[in-house]
Chain A
Amino acid sequence: MPQVSLTVNGKPHSVEVEGRTLLVELLREKLRLTGTHVGCDTSQCGACVVHVDGESVKSCTMLAVQAEGADVTTIEGLASADGTLHPMQEAFREYHALQCGFCTPGMVMSAIDLVMKHPEGLDEKQIREGLEGNLCRCTGYHNIVKAIAAAAEVMHGRRTELAQAAE
């Protein structure tokens, strides 16, 4: 069986997999990182999004062997070692951008990539278009859009602290 060596959330791993093992299966079943979810089998829902070498990918649409040598970040690896949340995680909480939580890890990982790709800033339309690959059935996206806009301000240094949601 093939062996794949990769770094996940800063830790090196070397794991034996089948050729057909998906990256998400490696993360969930071999490394027990179950924060990354599987919500569909047609590569559309985005619940499985992780970062591979800094870019968001659907881990259900990538073979584990294709991640050889890669640096993978999952939702479990976002917060600082001291437990401080990433601004995007914090914004999702502040803006009530999650309900059942199932799409949330993928949504957060996609949102971070979206913001990082737009240092110039994002308007509501760009955020909505940028979420093309992530489905949420609970929130109607309303608060997700607001959370991403607020997190972007912090991530690009335009604000030092997250703007509070309106009461």
Chain B
Amino acid sequence: MYDFAYHKPGSIADAVKILTDDPEARPISGGQTLLPALKHRLAHPTALVDLSGIAELRGIQRDGDRLVIGAMTKHYEIQTSDVVKTAIPALAKMAGNLGDTQVRNRGTMGGSLSNNDPAADYPAAAMALNATFRTDRRSIPADEFFQGMFATALEPGELLVAIEFPIPTKAGYAKMRNPASRYVMAGVFVAKLADGSVRVAVNGAGPGVFRQEEMEAALAKSWSADAIAGIRQDPDGLNGDIHGSAEYRAHLVGVMAKRALAEAG
């Protein structure tokens, strides 16, 4: 790791100021992705801005028909939260199955979403649930937030504060893990929202999370495994590597969609 200055601001405003004043500074939340990257010297930030001292970034609340999760809320807190388990059980279950116990004890939802690793779990949930990303300066809908591999709509210095999830009537998630890294090889989150609309998000398989619109249309007509049985994910543009080709990942999208649907009930 290259050396860096370390700051631990107590407020969002202070954090944003440091990040704005020094464009080479990076925020650190749980650090479960950032620190391994720094150890391999893949990045050279001048300073790390530790967000763990900012109380307003944490917490889980039910706000009417929405579930609001602070960006610095840890996976383990989400996994075990009765509020989350009641409102969106699929999200609690996702949190309980990502990374390992030690990652879940440190890693945060906001950190993961801001990083937007194509093989991370939460982007599928946020996309399928049509989440809203509340930052220090604005709100960003999920469809605009995710901008491809490791890219989001966040501007330099902009901090994710909380994620608002509309509470769906049905939601389910299934994934196939990369056998080695245990990140997502192909995952599908299906959700039927309160307004009756259906959203299906695919993670792991492509260069970033994306919506499977053909499945959305089919499930909007009929919320059943049969409705999507004939839908073939196009492998064009999907990831292929030593662990599986694009064709394999495309196939898994169909399998995981079926299983996610079964989870959703």
Q: Do chains A and B touch in the complex (CB under 8 A)?
A: yes
How long is the Cα–Cα vector from A43 to B48 in the complex, in angstroms? 19
Interface centre among B4, B35, B38 (most CB of A within 10 A): B35
How long is the Cα–Cα vector from A58 to B35 in the complex, in angstroms? 11
Interface centre among A60, A66, A110 (most CB of B within 10 A): A66
- A7 interface contact, C-beta 8 A: no
For B1, the closest partner residue in chain A by CB is: A20
- A77 interface contact, C-beta 8 A: no
> Of A20, A41, A42, A49, which is within 8 A of B102 by CB?
A49
- Residues of A with C-beta under 8 A to B2: 20
How many chain-A residues does the 8 Å CB contact rule pick out? 30
A132 touches B100 (CB 8 A): yes
A110 touches B101 (CB 8 A): yes
A56 touches B105 (CB 8 A): yes
- Residues of A with C-beta under 8 A to B38: 20
How long is the Cα–Cα vector from A32 to B253 in the complex, in angstroms? 49
A42 touches B76 (CB 8 A): no
- B39 interface contact, C-beta 8 A: yes
- B31 interface contact, C-beta 8 A: yes
> Of B3, B5, B52, B101, which is within 8 A of A114 by CB?
B101
> Of B31, B40, B105, which is within 8 A of A66 by CB?
B31
A61-B76 contact in complex given A41-B40, A46-B102, A55-B105, C-beta closer than 8 Å: no
- B10 interface contact, C-beta 8 A: no
For A1, the closest partner residue in chain B by CB is: B3
- Residues of A with C-beta under 8 A to B28: 63
B227-252 residues with Cβ-Cβ distance < 8 A to A are none
> Of B39, B106, B182, which is within 8 A of A57 by CB?
B106
A7-45: CB near B (< 8 Å → 1, else 0) gives 000000000001110100000000000000000011110
A19-B4 contact in complex given A61-B35, A66-B50, A66-B52, C-beta closer than 8 Å: yes
A19 nearest CB across to chain B (Å): 4
B209 nearest CB across to chain A (Å): 23
For A4, the closest partner residue in chain B by CB is: B6
- Residues of B with C-beta under 8 A to A113: 101, 105
- A2 interface contact, C-beta 8 A: yes
B102 touches A56 (CB 8 A): yes
- Residues of A with C-beta under 8 A to B100: 46, 132-134
- Residues of B with C-beta under 8 A to A2: 6
B6 touches A61 (CB 8 A): no
- Residues of B with C-beta under 8 A to A18: 3
How long is the Cα–Cα vector from A117 to B4 in the complex, in angstroms? 36
How long is the Cα–Cα vector from A68 to B53 in the complex, in angstroms? 11
> Of B32, B52, B76, B181, which is within 8 A of A55 by CB?
B76
- Residues of A with C-beta under 8 A to B52: 66
- B36 interface contact, C-beta 8 A: yes
How long is the Cα–Cα vector from A132 to B102 in the complex, in angstroms? 9
- Residues of B with C-beta under 8 A to A55: 76, 105
How long is the Cα–Cα vector from A63 to B31 in the complex, in angstroms? 9
- B103 interface contact, C-beta 8 A: yes
A135 nearest CB across to chain B (Å): 10
A133-B6 contact in complex given A61-B32, A61-B36, A66-B52, C-beta closer than 8 Å: no
B101 touches A43 (CB 8 A): no
Sorted from nearest, which 4 A-B pairs have the closest CB atoms?
Answer: A133-B100, A132-B100, A19-B6, A20-B1
20 new A-B contacts at CB < 8 Å, known A43-B103, A49-B102, A62-B31: A19-B48, A22-B1, A43-B36, A44-B181, A46-B102, A55-B105, A56-B102, A57-B105, A61-B32, A62-B35, A63-B6, A63-B35, A63-B48, A65-B6, A68-B8, A117-B101, A130-B101, A132-B100, A132-B182, A133-B100
A-B contact pairs, 14 of them (CB 8 A): A2-B6, A18-B3, A19-B3, A20-B3, A43-B36, A44-B181, A56-B101, A56-B102, A60-B39, A61-B31, A62-B106, A63-B28, A63-B35, A133-B101
Which residues on A are within 8 Å of B, measured CB to CB? 2, 18-20, 22, 41-44, 46, 49, 55-58, 60-63, 65-66, 68, 110, 113-114, 117, 130, 132-134
